[in-house]
Amino acid sequence: MSRIGKKPVTVPAGVKVAINPNARTIEMTGPKGTVKSTWLPEVNVAWSEGEKQLVVSVDMAKIDEGNRKALWGLTRANLQLMAEGVSKGFERKLEINGVGWGAKIQGKKVVLALGFANPIELDIPANVKVELNQNQVILTGPDKQAVGEFAARIRSQRKPEPYNGKGVKYVGEVIIRKQGKAFGS
């Protein structure tokens, strides 16, 4: 049995839950925004309005078929992240290191100057907010997957290199530095 899947998801105050069991969709709305999701047919999700809890369950007769135990825990964890995201939000910080390198926001795009001949333009996803603070890019939003995916897209444009440390890295990420070539006698 899934230890995580058995625990109910407690929804914080101020979060509205709309669930459609026939279409297997759930929508949560809170102070930080709205997140929608669907779940797989192997699991069942029930909403208890009185207790403000979501309960994820599976058919115990078919528990050993396929990967139902894993999907049970995965669905519960995703619902927990949705509830946390619409109430508190998620944040990812990136740091741009390099002479003359930086980022700016133009409309609904982030324009990155990362030492290439042309600037790189990336469209900002719908639920993600972007802020710039000197050489830092701060991404916030209610959907952890969208925030993390956009942060990974920005980082992938110029990953940090080990010799000079130039590139885009997460704040707090440790880059193991290498010694360059030794010249002279």
Q: Considering 71, 87, 103, which residue would you say is the last residue of a domain?
A: 87
Q: Considering 48, 64, 87, which residue would you say is the last residue of a domain?
A: 87
84 neighbors 97 (Cβ within 8 angstroms): no
pLDDT band, residue 122 (cuts 50/70/90): very high
Same domain assignment for residues 121 and 110: yes
Same domain assignment for residues 13 and 32: yes
182: three-class secondary structure by DSSP: coil
Q: What is the CATH number of the domain that holds 164?
A: 3.90.930.12
Q: Express as a percent the part of the chain with pLDDT over 70.
A: 98
* Span 157-176, pLDDT tens digits: 999 999 988 999 999 999 99
Nearest residue to 159 (alpha-carbon basis) of 98, 81, 104: 98
Q: How far apart are CA 142 and CA 129, in angstroms?
A: 10
Q: In this predicted structure, what is the pLDDT of residue 71?
A: 87
- Structural domain of 61: 3-87
pLDDT at 185 over 80: no
Same domain assignment for residues 81 and 98: no
| Residue at 65 is within a domain | yes
Which pair of structure tokens corresponds to residue 66? Answer: 């396929």
Q: In this predicted structure, what is the pLDDT of residue 139?
A: 97
Diameter of the chain measured on Cα atoms: 79
Same domain assignment for residues 127 and 58: no
Same domain assignment for residues 96 and 28: no
* Span 17-65, pLDDT tens digits: 999 988 999 999 999 999 999 998 888 999 988 889 999 888 888 777 7
Q: In this predicted structure, what is the pLDDT of residue 5?
A: 81
Q: Considering 28, 52, 87, which residue would you say is the last residue of a domain?
A: 87
| Residue at 176 is within a domain | no
Q: How, if at all, do strands 136-141 and 120-123 pair?
A: unpaired
